[in-house]
Amino acid sequence: MNKLWIDERYCKGCLICIDACPTKAIRPSEKLNSKGYRLPIEENMALCKACEICVLMCPDFAIAVSEE
Amino acid sequence: MKHPMLKYMKETGPCGDRLPTILCPGCGAGQVLNYTLHAVDQIIKEDKIAKERFLFISGIGCSSRLTTHYLNFDSAWTLHGRAPAVATGALLANPEFKIILFTGDGDVGAIGGNHFIHVCRRNLDMTILCMNNALYGMTGGQVAPTTPRGDYTTTTPYGNVENSFVLCKLAEVAGASYVARWTTAHPQQAIRSIKHGIRKKGTSFIEILSQCPVHAKKSAVEILRSYKTKTVKAKNAEKGDNRIPIGEFLDIEQPEWFESFQKIIDSFASEERKDQNE
Amino acid sequence: MSNSHMLRPGSYYFQGNEACIEGAIMAGSRVYAGYPITPATEVMEAAARRFPQVGGRFIQMEDEISSACLLIGASWGGAKALTGTSSPGFSLMQEAISFGIISETPFVIVDVQRPGPGQGYITSGQEDVMQARWGHHGEGSLIALAPSSVQEMFDFTILAFNYAEQWRTPVILLADETVGHMRKRLKIPPLGEINIVNRKKPQEMGIRPEDYLPFGGSEVPLMANWGEGYNVNVVGLVHQPDGHVTRYSPELDYQCIDRKLRKIEDNVDKIAKIDTRFMADIEHLIICYGTPSRTALEAVMEAREEKGVPIGYLRLITLWPFPEGMLRKLIPQVDTIFVPEMNLGMMMHPIREALRDKAKRFVSIPSMGTLHSPDLILSKIYEELRK
Amino acid sequence: MKRYEIRIAGFGGQGVVTIGRILGTTISMYEGKNSVNTQSYGPESRGGACRSEVVISDGEIFYPRVRMADILVALSQVALDTYIADLKKGGILIVDPGAVESVPDRKDITIFRVPTMEIAQKVGGVKFQNMIALGALSTQMDWVSQASFERGISEGVPSKTITVNLEAFRKGREYGKNQSEKRKG
């Protein structure tokens, strides 16, 4: 299964990655982080095809996907 | 593991950590930087161009912040509107530079408008990326030369009474060689255009409609979705279509400043070789 | 660097504006940008003709703003770059000068001054002497030199480039219409006899890119050009020594800007040059700079010879940094200090401030829009001495 | 020679600046003396008041402009009226009678009337007026050789026009010589 990586230092919770994901493999967290952002978390990484559109569209260089 | 483009950025330096960027959540400028670095990464690999040849120059405004201290490239974050002039200087010193300008609609359309049209007129070899959010973001949402007539901003509280610039058309008539427009919702197309612009000898102007969620008072996701519906590929646009045309508008070959000037320099150099042989 | 289109050593009958460009070429300048303006146009025309001959690049920009901003990019791109202008254009260059100060970018601006304000006129003036130092927004210092002969238009242009490189600063050559248009014999020495200073680079000191501090590490930081793998981020905001724009603090601001000021002001004794004559047993002194120095010297010699007036001559070659300490050392207690200027007494301000206890009277001798005649200066001297 | 001062005045387009430049080059480069040439003109390229000055000395020249001229060449009425007062006692005035209607009554100077425009038209056109004037002027500077002047002219004009400029200079010099001899005789 592909692995999701979020850099919590860089992510500003804009959620562009979640909207861009064609397979809905990720979703926003319910919990707010210390800055008040909802970060992307895994929904079902089995759906992830590592197309990396999330990586491409992230404004903050905060997301990465590794293929297993 | 980390984002693949971080290899081109200075996460930290002798005086501390440099990321995250100063940009607001969901800012389109961050996306444009991401697309640009993808394009540069591909060019470095495909064309075997040394990383040292890339040079990023910006003026003032949110978009220009991309060039502050984040990039692990040579860069200059200069004066409002003056990036085209500074870039011209770099090119005069060393025409081998692959110059990428990060500008905004206020930077290039208003305060730096004159420098912008003259770079195009001279067809200087640089790629101008204009992040158009149709207002001044950094100073709090004032009217820009690209703001549509009738829009309300902090300096048009009763509505904008002026016409707005179409920057792509301006670049075209000013003499640029390659002109294209995309939005941040078109990453693959934008990357293709940026690569083409970097490879193109002469001035490339690429306008990228780029969201400012803060001043638009909408989420980045909402604006990105609207970019898909509010735009139309220029070649598919029918008469009376009110959608914003996107795509490549101009791609021509014409003499570029440096090549033309080099011929003059070479004529003196060959005269000198002749002198020495005699 | 030498090529057959460089001027051969020998004598030439040149205009000051042309001599300036020959000096720039000798100093190694290969980038010129400018916008036409009287009376500096011949500087630009000479550059247009001469730079391509020696492998340099010349561009006529859309205005003076871009001409000066271009120097920033050219300098970091590795070139010694200059622009030439006259007073109204010089006003437009202040923004780039300000950026040049904070980013410690070496470049040279030649200001062939004309009178102002506004369009003023196209004759001779010295009304930018204050603007040169204080015209830019913000703190920080720079260097300004005042030539008074065709030879000095050549020599001081080279010196201006040397200073720019040595101190990593914009340098202003404050010429005027008279010296710009003056023609006189110019002596070109062999290239080997000309002292040429180039920027100190981190490569030469064995400093690696990851350790390089473009804005720190020494009084005058080392300068890596773009394209050399040092990944220099040139910035205009208050910054750390590595160019990192961190959270603002008054302490950071102080440290960042204070050094940029001090590297010039604290080294005034190394930078400033002064020319003196007839300084023994004087009761009066003329302090001058630029082209009026020529008239002043003639007037001093005549006053001494014909009326036995014990008057000395002191000429400021460097206007900024202002050499207060040097002046105080050189100047004895006198009765009157005369200051002839092609303005209404601008340099009189720092002169009086520096020498307030050294003279009983300070007399300004203005001449607006034209070079003083010896008779103007002499009549003023005689008039004061009758009092 | 302590200090010798020459002023040429007229209006823009008459080649006033060129005379000064050639004169300065001749003196400094081929006669081994010091000379400083200065100029002033209005903003217009043609038709405005224009002045060119050459100060000559064996020693160093400090003040670069004319204080009291030894020679004044006036090619317009305005130029003559402006500068006649600064012509030395015993000085020389060269005027073009075609351009100047009234010459001030000064008994302490020598006046030469040289129809520069008229002679120039016979040589190659009115634009060579300045070379006629320079030729006439050269006869009053007998301490400078004709060869030096001609070198100065050859250096100072476009190469295609050297021959006609030299011809104009010689015509002016001839006219000046005749006038001087007439006066002596």
Q: In this complex, which of A13, A19, A60 lies closest to B224 when CB atoms are compared?
A: A19
User: Which chains reach chain A with 3 or more Cβ–Cβ distances below 8 angstroms?
Assistant: B
Q: What does the block give as tokens for B213?
A: 């969620």
Is the pLDDT reported for residue B228 higher than 80?
yes
From the list B59, B89, B259, the residue with the least C-alpha distance to C82 is: B89
Q: To the nearest whole angstrom, how far is the Cα of C239 from the nearest Cα of chain D?
A: 46
Q: What CATH number labels A3-66?
A: 3.30.70.20
Given this model, what pLDDT does residue D42 score?
64
Given this model, what pLDDT does residue C1 score?
47
Given this model, what pLDDT does residue B133 score?
84
- Residue contact D43–C374, C-beta within 8 A: no
Considering only CB atoms, which chain B residues are within 8 Å of A59? 23, 26-31, 33-34, 220
Q: In this complex, which of C38, C182, C183 lies closest to D43 when CB atoms are compared?
A: C38
Q: How far apart are CA D79 and CA C372, in angstroms?
A: 21
- Residue contact C59–B68, C-beta within 8 A: no
List average pLDDT for each run of 10 residues in chain C, which is 387 residues long: 81 97 98 97 98 97 98 98 98 98 98 96 96 97 98 98 98 97 96 96 95 95 97 94 90 96 98 98 98 98 97 98 98 98 98 97 97 97 94
Q: What is the topology classification, in CATH, of domain D4-184?
A: Pyruvate-ferredoxin Oxidoreductase; domain 3 (3.40.920)
Task: Delimit the domains of chain D by residue range.
Answer: 4-184
Given this model, what pLDDT does residue D45 score?
59
Given this model, what pLDDT does residue D43 score?
58
User: What is the pLDDT of chain D when averaged over all its residues?
Assistant: 93
Q: How far apart are CA B25 and CA B36, in angstroms?
A: 19
- Residue contact B68–C245, C-beta within 8 A: yes
Is the preceding omega at residue C323 within 30 degrees of 0, hence cis?
Answer: no
From the list B31, B177, B171, B69, the residue with the least C-alpha distance to B112 is: B171
Given this model, what pLDDT does residue C15 score?
97
- Residue contact B69–C233, C-beta within 8 A: yes
Q: What is the rounded end-to-end Cα distance, in angstroms, of chain A?
A: 6
From the list A60, A53, A54, the residue with the least C-alpha distance to A41 is: A54
Mutate to test the interface with B, among C104, C228, C231, C237 (most CBs of B within 10 A): C231
Contact C82/B at CB under 8 A = no
Cβ count near C376 (within 10 Å):
18
Q: What is the mean pLDDT of residues B19-39?
A: 96
- Residue contact C373–D40, C-beta within 8 A: no
Contact A12/B at CB under 8 A = yes
* DSSP states of B51-75: GGGEEEEE-SSTGGGGGSS-BSSEE
Q: In this complex, which of A5, A12, A59 lies closest to B31 when CB atoms are compared?
A: A59
CATH class of C10-193: alpha beta
Is the pLDDT reported for residue B140 higher than 80?
no
Give residue for tokens 């978390």. Answer: A41
C10-193 shares its CATH topology with C275-386: yes
Q: Chain A residue with minimal CA distance to B33?
A: A59
Considering only CB atoms, which chain B residues are within 8 Å of A56? 34-35, 38, 187-188
Q: How far apart are CA B86 and CA C73, in angstroms?
A: 4
Q: Using CA atoms of D84, D86, D88, D92 in order, give the dihedral in degrees to the nearest 10.
A: -40
Return residues 97-136 of B near C (CB < 8 Å).
97, 114-115, 118, 122
Contact C160/B at CB under 8 A = no
| CB D46 within 8 Å of CB D12 | yes
Mutate to test the interface with B, among C244, C246, C256 (most CBs of B within 10 A): C244
User: What number is the ipTM of this complex?
Assistant: 0.94
- Residue contact D63–C298, C-beta within 8 A: yes
Q: In this complex, which of C38, C298, C373 lies closest to D62 when CB atoms are compared?
A: C298
Task: Delimit the domains of chain A by residue range.
Answer: 3-66
Contact C207/B at CB under 8 A = no
Contact C65/B at CB under 8 A = yes
pLDDT in tens, A16-52: 999 999 999 999 999 999 999 999 999 999 999 999 9
Q: In this complex, which of A3, A18, A59 lies closest to B34 when CB atoms are compared?
A: A59
- Residue contact B221–A14, C-beta within 8 A: yes
Mutate to test the interface with B, among A61, A65, A66 (most CBs of B within 10 A): A61
Inter-CA distances, C28 with B134, C35, D54, D163, Å: 45, 21, 33, 38
The pTM (predicted TM-score) of the whole model is: 0.96
Q: To the nearest whole angstrom, how far is the Cα of B253 from the nearest Cα of chain A?
A: 31
The identity of residue D87, as a single letter, is L
| CB B30 within 8 Å of CB A17 | no
- Residue contact A66–B5, C-beta within 8 A: no
Q: How far apart are CA C338 and CA C381, in angstroms?
A: 8
Q: Which residues contact A34 (CB under 8 A, 6 or more apart)?
A: none
pLDDT in tens, C255-311: 999 999 999 999 999 999 999 999 999 999 999 999 999 999 999 999 999 999 999
Given this model, what pLDDT does residue B276 score?
64
Q: What CATH number labels C275-386?
A: 3.40.50.920
Mutate to test the interface with C, among D63, D68, D86 (most CBs of C within 10 A): D63
Q: To the nearest whole angstrom, how far is the Cα of D38 from the nearest Cα of chain C?
A: 5
Q: Which residues contact C208 (CB under 8 A, 6 or more apart)?
A: none
Q: In this complex, which of B25, B34, B38 lies closest to A13 when CB atoms are compared?
A: B25
- Residue contact A14–B26, C-beta within 8 A: yes
- Residue contact C96–B79, C-beta within 8 A: yes
Q: What is the mean pLDDT of residues B151-155?
A: 91
Mutate to test the interface with A, among B1, B2, B3, B10 (most CBs of A within 10 A): B3
Contact A21/B at CB under 8 A = no
Mutate to test the interface with B, among C62, C97, C246, C251 (most CBs of B within 10 A): C62
Q: How far apart are CA D135 and CA D167, in angstroms?
A: 10
User: Which chains reach chain D with 3 or more Cβ–Cβ distances below 8 angstroms?
Assistant: C
- Residue contact C13–D62, C-beta within 8 A: no
Considering only CB atoms, which chain B residues are within 8 Å of A16? 26, 31, 220-221, 224
| Superfamily covering domain B4-277 | Thiamin diphosphate (ThDP)-binding fold, Pyr/PP domains (3.40.50.970)
- Residue contact C4–B68, C-beta within 8 A: no
Task: Delimit the domains of chain B by residue range.
Answer: 4-277
